[in-house]
Amino acid sequence: MGGESLKIDYAYTFGLPRSIVWKYLMMEEILRKSLPGCKTFIVRKEGVYEAEVEINAGPFHDVIKLEIIRKQEKPPAFFQLHLKGKGQAGKMNCHTDVFLKTMQNSTKIICKTDTEISGAIAMVGQRVLESTANKGLDSFFQTVEKEIRKSLYQLKRGGR
């Protein structure tokens, strides 16, 4: 594909059990609500989605059309994501391994991402791209945790 290669190792800890985190990460509604800059989200079939996502990376502002494929699931410990995207500023092809590890009363998510970026956006530079990706992952997992807690609260309230 050419362009810039970006490798990111990212970790996030949920204060929730692994089985609950897994369950909610597999829900399309949680993915849609948590995807930063998500403009549209379509479920093609289970584990295959299309989305339009607005991104800001340094001086670039673009809307990328993404195909997201979730595969090789090993509940509740591992899955892979493959994202292919195209916008006016370039293209991206991303493979991510997502590990869920139990840590006492919490769950640690470890993401190992390998991304190829081409086009004008690849000229932004490694540090800006890494910063943008890490901010996006922070935003995604913080929103996922907020949505899980909101859902659990509503379930608990409804059960009274």
| pLDDT given for residue 160 in this prediction | 53
pTM for the model stands at 0.92
Give tens-digit pLDDT for 59-105: 888 999 999 999 999 999 999 999 999 999 899 999 999 999 999 99
Name the residue range of residue 84's domain.
Answer: 4-158
Which residue do the tokens 């549209």 mark?
40
Residue 36 has pLDDT above 60, yes or no: yes
CA 27 to chain CA centroid, Å, is: 13
Residue-wise DSSP of 77-139:
TEEEEEEEEEETTEEEEEEEEEEEEEETTEEEEEEEEEEEEESGGGGG-HHHHHHHHHHHHHH
CATH of the domain at 119: 3.30.530.20
Cβ atoms of residues 65 and 87 within 8 Å: yes
| pLDDT given for residue 78 in this prediction | 98
Q: How many structural domains comprise the chain? A: 1
Average pLDDT over residues 127-155: 94
Residue 2 has pLDDT above 80, yes or no: no
Closest CA to 12 of 104, 99, 115: 99
Average pLDDT over residues 12-28: 97
